[in-house]
Each structure stands twice: as structure tokens, then as C-alpha cells.
Amino acid sequence: MGNRATAVAILNPLLALWQEGVNAHRPEAIAAVFTEDAIFQGLQPYSVGRAGVQKYYSAQPRDMRVTYDIVEARLLGKLAVLGYVRAEFSFDHRSAVSVLIGIVATRQEDRWQIAHYQVSPPPHGVASRPA
């Protein structure tokens, strides 16, 4: 498997757990996908640690769901992976929100976890593909 394929194979199961937690509105399950000292930047001020992740997702609407697509992925070494993800958060009674997410996942003992998560809105009028 190549660098990108290996990185995607690591990120997909991790992001699937995140997605499952978001779609079921289970903030504690979402937080468990992150490292104890994760740097988390959603669309609110950043936080450090699982408690901040859980607090952020606890405050989100219960009808929020997410789909995602891994745009780019790279191995940063044997214990770290970089991902660039396009995500769409949808709701029952309001417009969907599209974002781009930068992720760094690290190997923690016997599993991969998200150590850094940073959301940004896509550039206005610009596709989220390389120039």
C-alpha cells in the first residue's frame, strides 16, 4: 500500500467512529476518538482535551449529522497521519454547513486517535481541490 492509501486506511475507521458519534448525538463517544490532550478547533474557540470535545458536541443540535470525504492523506511517520477532510453537517430544519477539516491522528498504544482537529470554512466560490 502506498503512502496515501495507507493513510486513508488509517483515517477512514477513525472518522467513521467520529461520524457515528455525531450522527447518534453521542458526545462521549466522539470525545473517545480524540487523545487525552487533543487540540480541538471547531467553529467555536479552541479547547484542549476530551472534555472540550465533549462539551462542544454536547452543545450541537441533536439532529446534526455528518458526511465526509478524505481529500488528502499522508503518513507523517510510523505513528502519525495527516488528513484533509471535506465534511458536510446537515440538520432537519436548517441549511447544511460545509467545512474543511485538518486532522492529525497519532498511534496511542493499540489504536489511532485524533490529536489535532481544525475546522475552517471553505473559501468562498473556490473548490476545495488543489490549485
Taken in order of first residue, the domains within the chain and their CATH numbers are 3-120 (3.10.450.50)
- pTM here is 0.91
DSSP for 3-29 reads HHHHHHHHHHHHHHHHHHHHHTT-HHH
Q: Residue 26 and residue 18: Cα distance in Å, rounded?
A: 10
Mean pLDDT (the chain, rounded) = 93
Q: Is residue 122's pLDDT more than 70?
A: yes
| Mean pLDDT, residues 18-47 taken together | 96
